[in-house]
């Protein structure tokens, strides 16, 4: 068991490192985006893309982490993978919202989380085109820039503004479209932002009432999940489950429960 004072000092150091890494990568991506940016590679389908900037951003972040925290482990979306010896693992999405970034749309982010013995204790999401950085330390609240972040009070279900997203494979998209088709008449409206990390932070700052998505990777949700929880939202997957690639849900108490029930009944957790 880590001494509380030592743990607090570790959290403070990891937050400082995450903020600096996200700021450096965010500035590089904002200021250095090539006008002729193209697709460098594809992953699960022809529309699941990687750009040279995703790869360069991940290298910038991992080089910085190696300098500041050489004994930590690393897991990055674009292949960064290092076993550490410190018990700390960094979980990195160098551009969350790659398709938005490719098209020159503003809603993309850099998502960096630090896990200690498997538990996320620091989360940072930088959204440079919004001039906002969202952050949270476990047990110490959530912030947007230097302002405290708080999730909205749950509205009635039919007045909820709900965010979601869709996968890259046709079979999954067909089922996801069927789920959202049945949800749309029951809520205020739907938003599809394109960056899970920003969607989770929008729950934290009260810009959306709820968010759900199937098929996210740990680097998509690790930081935003902590930020949403520290802002007062509940997060999870199927009933009794934590957020996972199977299903990610975030919403304030009073809305989280009926939404989770609806998504379970609609089969949002499977393809
Ligand atoms: C994206 C997620 C988004 C999802 C997209 C994509 P990426 O992550 O943040 O919520 O709907 O399909 O997975 O690939 O841009 O890092």
- Answer yes or no: is the C-beta of 54 below 6 A from any ligand 1 atom: no
Is residue 271 assigned to a domain?
no
pLDDT class for 46, splitting at 50, 70, 90? Answer: confident
Instruction: Pick the closest to residue 246 from 233, 258, 229, 260 (CA basis).
Output: 260
- Give the domain range for residue 121: 4-148
Q: Residue 44 has which token pair?
A: 């699960």
- Report percent pLDDT > 90 for the chain: 97
Q: How many domains does the chain have?
A: 2
Which of 98, 179, 225 for mutating ligand 1's site (highest number of atoms within 8 Å of CB)?
98
Q: For 137-174, how does the pLDDT look when each residue is reduced to its tens digit (9 = 90+)?
A: 999 999 999 999 999 999 999 999 999 999 999 999 99
Indicate the SS3 state at residue 251: strand
CA angle 18, 23, 166 (to 5 degrees): 80
Which of 195, 203, 221 for mutating ligand 1's site (highest number of atoms within 8 Å of CB)?
195
Last residue of a domain, one of 93, 127, 148: 148
As a whole number, the mean pLDDT across the chain is 97
- Answer yes or no: is the C-beta of 164 below 6 A from any ligand 1 atom: no
Is residue 102 assigned to a domain?
yes
- Answer yes or no: is the C-beta of 93 below 6 A from any ligand 1 atom: yes
Last residue of a domain, one of 148, 168, 194: 148
Residue 161 and residue 139 share a domain: no
117 contacts: CB under 8 Å, gap ≥ 6:
87
- Answer yes or no: is the C-beta of 100 below 6 A from any ligand 1 atom: no
- Answer yes or no: is the C-beta of 51 below 6 A from any ligand 1 atom: no
Tell me how far apart the alpha carbons of residues 236 and 232 are, in angstroms, rounded to a whole number: 13
Across the strands, what pairs with 73?
89
* Paired sense of beta strands 88-96 and 81-82, if any: unpaired
Last residue of a domain, one of 90, 114, 148: 148
Tell me how far apart the alpha carbons of residues 172 and 124 are, in angstroms, rounded to a whole number: 29
81 contacts: CB under 8 Å, gap ≥ 6:
74, 75
CATH number, domain containing residue 167: 3.40.190.80
With 0-12 / 13-18 / 19 or more C-beta atoms within 10 angstroms meaning exposed / middle / buried, residue 19 is middle
Whether this prediction's pTM lies above 0.85 is answered by: yes
- Answer yes or no: is the C-beta of 98 below 6 A from any ligand 1 atom: yes
Q: For 69-99, how does the pLDDT look when each residue is reduced to its tens digit (9 = 90+)?
A: 999 999 999 999 999 999 999 999 999 999 9
Q: What does the pLDDT read at residue 4?
A: 73
With 0-12 / 13-18 / 19 or more C-beta atoms within 10 angstroms meaning exposed / middle / buried, residue 202 is buried
Q: For 207-246, how does the pLDDT look when each residue is reduced to its tens digit (9 = 90+)?
A: 999 999 999 999 999 999 999 999 999 999 999 999 999 9
- Answer yes or no: is the C-beta of 220 below 6 A from any ligand 1 atom: yes
Q: Residue 74 has which token pair?
A: 């690393």
Tell the residue nearest (CA) to atom 16 of ligand 1. 96
């Amino acid at each position: 068991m880590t001494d509380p004072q030592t743990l607090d000092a570790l959290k403070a150091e990891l937050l400082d490192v995450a903020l600096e890494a996200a700021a450096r990568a965010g500035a590089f991506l904002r200021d250095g985006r090539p006008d002729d940016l193209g697709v460098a590679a594809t992953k699960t389908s022809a529309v699941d893309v990687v750009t040279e900037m995703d790869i360069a951003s991940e290298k910038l972040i991992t080089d910085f982490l190696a300098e500041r925290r050489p004994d930590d482990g690393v897991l990055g979306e674009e292949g960064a993978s290092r076993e550490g010896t410190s018990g700390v693992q960094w979980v990195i999405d160098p551009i969350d919202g790659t398709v938005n970034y490719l098209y020159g749309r503003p809603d993309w982010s850099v998502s960096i989380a630090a896990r200690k013995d498997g538990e996320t204790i620091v989360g940072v999401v930088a959204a440079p085109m919004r001039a906002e950085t969202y952050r949270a330390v476990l047990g110490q609240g959530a912030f947007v820039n230097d302002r405290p972040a708080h999730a909205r009070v749950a509205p009635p279900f039919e007045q909820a503004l709900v965010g979601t997203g869709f996968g890259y494979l046709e079979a999954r998209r067909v089922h996801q479209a069927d789920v959202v088709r049945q949800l749309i008449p029951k809520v205020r409206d739907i938003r599809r932002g394109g960056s899970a990390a920003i969607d989770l932070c929008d729950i934290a700052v009260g810009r959306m009432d709820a968010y759900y998505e199937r098929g996210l990777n740990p680097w998509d949700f690790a930081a935003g999940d902590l930020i949403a929880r520290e802002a007062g939202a509940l997060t999870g997957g199927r009933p009794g489950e934590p957020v996972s690639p199977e299903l990610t849900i975030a919403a304030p108490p009073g809305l989280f429960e009926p939404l989770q029930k609806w998504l379970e009944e609609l089969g949002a957790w499977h393809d």
